[in-house]
Amino acid sequence: MAKGLPKRSENYSEWYNEIVKRADLAENSAVRGCMVIKPYGFAIWEKMQRALDDMFKATGHVNAYFPLFVPKSFLEKEEEHAEGFAKECAVVTHYRLKANPDGKGLMVDPDAKLEEELIIRPTSEAIIWNTYKNWIQSWRDLPLLINQWANVVRWEMRTRLFLRTAEFLWQEGHTAHATEQEAVEEAERMLGVYAEFAENWMALPVVQGVKSPNERFAGALETYCIEAMMQDGKALQAGTSHFLGQNFAKSFDVKFVNKENQLEYAWATSWGVSTRLMGALIMAHSDDNGLVLPPKLAPIQVVIIPIHKTEEDLAKITEKVEPIISELKAAGISVKFDDDDKQRSGWKFAEYELKGVPVRLAMGMRDLENGTIEIARRDTLTKESVPVDGVADTVKGLLEEMQDAIYQKALAFREENTFVVDTWDEFKAQIEKGGFVMAHWDGTAETEEKIKEETKATIRCIPLVGIEEAGKCVYTGAESPRRVVFAKAY
Amino acid sequence: MAKGLPKRSENYSEWYNEIVKRADLAENSAVRGCMVIKPYGFAIWEKMQRALDDMFKATGHVNAYFPLFVPKSFLEKEEEHAEGFAKECAVVTHYRLKANPDGKGLMVDPDAKLEEELIIRPTSEAIIWNTYKNWIQSWRDLPLLINQWANVVRWEMRTRLFLRTAEFLWQEGHTAHATEQEAVEEAERMLGVYAEFAENWMALPVVQGVKSPNERFAGALETYCIEAMMQDGKALQAGTSHFLGQNFAKSFDVKFVNKENQLEYAWATSWGVSTRLMGALIMAHSDDNGLVLPPKLAPIQVVIIPIHKTEEDLAKITEKVEPIISELKAAGISVKFDDDDKQRSGWKFAEYELKGVPVRLAMGMRDLENGTIEIARRDTLTKESVPVDGVADTVKGLLEEMQDAIYQKALAFREENTFVVDTWDEFKAQIEKGGFVMAHWDGTAETEEKIKEETKATIRCIPLVGIEEAGKCVYTGAESPRRVVFAKAY
């Protein structure tokens, strides 16, 4: 049983690192802060991408591709944006290497210095709005609803696989609209898409809200977000959608003739989710035996393991399970029949548990005689013997049931770990223990900062759906119109 | 009809540039040599990606993701490889910007200089083989069959949309094997996959062959390639597959214990196709009216245009075409019903012709009375009136017919423009006129170089399937075992 995987209760952080490594999801590369996403991890990411991409297209978006490089002068144009990203920029200064005259190897060719430095995109607002300038002349050109799947680089000092890496993969939607209202609706629509994806595909309940001004995306007027709770009670921001107002249109001079024949700046949104979602998926559901995957995102949904001693026995079992495999595949379920005889079945059981395969079917000689098969579910670790006839239908039903059960479990956990708190002492005590703390806040950046300094908790979001309940700020006692979500966060 | 699109016969190069621009496929960005792939162009690329990805998976490959950055010291390890790419390397030297103390804006922070420069991957052999070192210990770990979809950067001095850009999108397969034979088979298998994709999806006939040593990938023992002919008679290399021997295994010390319990270096292949295929697709099939797309890669396969004067007429037409739309969609065919009344139908006809939509259906009031509909095919520009009953089946058949017809047309063109030549005078005259020239070559790099200097023609490939026909080198008169393909190339 995955010998030596640390227990969540003892060392959550190490448990996470070890699952990522042992389930073959990702590893650190030789390049500081950059990860290698291994095939099994990438297969999960591909499933996420496909589902999200379908949802983006269903809401009218198209994909395109913009350059990796952002000229420094472009980044500078939107001042807050520039300030927000300056400290994390990887900078290309030269475009050629040459043989090292002093010895072996290569050196940067000093004659190949760029006139203007190029930044590896930390996000693409600048390069995209510079392009949109030529695409937008009239209200007829709007809305522009474009998404890009890309790699971005933010030179983070402390990195962690999936959660925070110098290079990561993501999608970034960048839309332009004729009116403020349309842009706000778009930002909210995409937040809704993210929430739906998190809940229906990742089985991850999320709180939808807006960020406090302090935590907004650099250059945004409003940042919407979805926040999820991990099993250690910490929050993880799983996706953001920004209403950018006319900031980028003004910085890049993107004007259009509106229906009233007047020149106006375009209204913008941007929204993104990244390979960070992999971290959320792992930390939300997995257990001390390894990964637990919601069936919709599992690269292998069902594994079938024969338990046999002779080749002849294997042939008999194979004959019996082949129709099951066909039926499952016909239903669009991914199945692996693992008859590799280099490994014992006990090793295989542990391995697929570690890798989070939702359903395991096992058939031995007694099953063959009895017309049964053992069916085990990964989330509850329960197993039972069922008739082999009709097992494909059983599996189909079970996969759906598990998708929901995993969600419900995470939801119950979040509810158990969400606390309403009214005094500063309670607040400090609860934040120390973990979980989401619903507390009143006076709305000032100053208070937010002080709370962060004293407790390391940040305002995760001001929930979109919240009871309008007046109260007193937990820190200053000043008036507050509603509770916000405080938590320590990844 | 796409006013002012240059004619191929007058200015092939401008014709290409204008199609790329006017059909909304791509444009130059503000970053030197980097392109923006616009939504319509990207939709075609997505169809290519999906088809290729399915073929890679069907041949046992999985996807993964490796870092964008290659430390300079890694690139240096395989000497030929390093030499081959050194002149085109974009180099990251710093990881932070800071406020400019002398005025506004940002500057590179001199305190944030990297200890070792990072190269933006021009290709990923170095970073991947450094990773494989830890993944390969035993013959049981082999073969490793991994593909990556990624962006790469090669700092080209002369760039052209899709054909040669500083940044481009591609896939790169990197496999490791226990034996030389297996690796050679893999390189050949993937060449076959590329040829199948080119012919069945892109409707592009290709010559499969190997490169002369001069034209090999830097670090390869053998480079296999597919070569296609464009409508100006020039060749375009559409994909390459490399047998890398043990070069990278030796440079990165990737050894495994073989079945005989001996330590051995792993055998490697790599193979790739890129957004360059978009250039090939455009140049191979399009005409003076615009893009011609093989139906399998067309984002919109069928456009339906109503021709009406009143809203009432439009309603009648709409009612009549709705079942056709449903039936086509149910058959997996992408259909656009363009009832936008901001544009006249004449404008729409030209626009969809420009964008290469394979089939156009148009219905006016007379059609409505007669129970007919006009069906036009993009490749031949022919149209006819057909009964509206059963038109969905007609369209399905037509799309298949067109896929084949476009291929056959390109094949016939290539055959008409392939010439067998035996004397140097004939050679020079024919190369000047264009096309593939099948000629004998003495097998030396020296002769190849001289021919290139005198005629600008290169050896495109030594065909895999060729008649073994001894002869005399067209340039030196020395012995030659078979003819090779010479051409000017993109």
Question: Is B51 at the interface with chain A, CB within 8 A?
Answer: no
ipTM for this model: 0.96
Least Cα separation, residue B474 to chain A (angstroms): 37
Q: Write the pLDDT tens digit of every residue in B191-249.
A: 999 999 999 999 999 999 999 999 999 899 999 999 999 999 999 999 999 999 999 99
- Report which secondary-structure segment, H or E, holds A223: strand A222-229
For chain A, which domains are there? 12-67+128-285 (3.30.930.10), 296-413 (3.40.50.800), 418-487 (3.30.110.30)
Q: Where are the beta strands (DSSP E) in B260-364?
A: 263-265, 267-274, 302-306, 335-337, 359-363
B/e letters for A3-32, b = 16+ CB within 10 Å, e = fewer, are eebbebeeebeebbebbbebbbbbbbbbbb
What is the structure's pLDDT at B307? Answer: 96
> For A153, which of B66, B68, B90 is closest by C-beta distance?
B68
Q: Measured between alpha carbons, how far is A230 from B50 in angstroms, rounded to an integer? A: 34
Given an 8 Å threshold on Cβ–Cβ distance, is A72 in contact with B46? no
Q: Write the pLDDT tens digit of every residue in B121-170.
A: 999 999 999 999 999 999 999 999 999 999 999 999 899 999 999 999 99
Given an 8 Å threshold on Cβ–Cβ distance, is A36 in contact with B108? no
What is the structure's pLDDT at A380? Answer: 98
> How many CA atoms are closer than 13 Å to the CA of B215, on its beta-carbon side?
23
Given an 8 Å threshold on Cβ–Cβ distance, is B29 in contact with A67? yes
- Assign B291 to helix, strand or coil: coil
B356: left (phi over 0), alpha (psi -120 to 50) or beta: left
Given an 8 Å threshold on Cβ–Cβ distance, is B95 in contact with A89? yes
Residue A3 pLDDT grade (very low, low, confident, very high; cuts 50, 70, 90): low
Q: How many helices (H) and strands (E) does chain A have?
A: 14, 27
What is the structure's pLDDT at B3? Answer: 64
Whether the per-residue pLDDT at A56 is higher than 70: the answer is: yes
Count of A–B CB contacts within 8 Å? 191
- Report which secondary-structure segment, H or E, holds B351: helix B345-354
Token output for A464? 């979109």
Q: Measured between alpha carbons, how far is A143 from A120 in angstroms, rounded to an integer? A: 28
CA distances from A134 to A137, A253, A267 (A): 7, 10, 15
Given an 8 Å threshold on Cβ–Cβ distance, is A30 in contact with B130? yes
What is the structure's pLDDT at A1? Answer: 43
Closest CA to B183 of B243, B228, B232: B243
Q: Which residue has the tokens 């063959």?
A: A368
User: Based on the number of CB atoms within 10 Å of its own CB, is A253 exposed (0-12), middle (13-18) or buried (19 or more)?
Assistant: exposed
Closest chain A residue to the Cα of B111, Cα to Cα: A87
Token output for A352? 């697929």
Question: Judged by CB atoms within 8 Å, which residues 398-437 of B form the interface with A?
Answer: none
pTM of this structure? 0.97
Q: What would the mean pLDDT of A467-490 be, rounded to a whole number?
A: 94
| Residues 6+ positions from A237 with CB-CB distance below 8 Å | A225, A226, A227, A460, A489, A490
What does the pLDDT profile of chain B (490 residues) look like in tens digits? Answer: 446 789 999 999 999 999 999 999 999 999 999 999 999 999 999 999 999 999 999 999 999 999 999 999 999 998 888 889 999 999 999 999 999 988 788 999 999 999 999 999 999 999 999 999 999 999 999 999 999 999 999 999 899 999 999 999 999 999 999 999 999 999 999 999 999 999 999 999 999 999 999 999 989 999 999 999 999 999 999 999 999 999 999 999 999 999 999 999 999 999 999 999 999 999 999 999 999 999 999 999 999 999 999 999 999 999 999 999 999 999 999 999 999 988 999 999 999 999 999 999 999 999 999 999 999 999 999 999 999 999 999 999 999 999 999 999 999 999 999 999 999 999 999 999 999 999 999 999 999 999 999 999 999 999 999 778 899 999 999 999 999 999 999 9
CB B40 within 8 A of CB B56: no
CB B27 within 8 A of CB B250: no
Token output for B111? 């305190």
CA distances from A459 to A190, A215, A233, A426, A449 (A): 22, 8, 14, 16, 10
Question: Is A71 at the interface with chain B, CB within 8 A?
Answer: yes
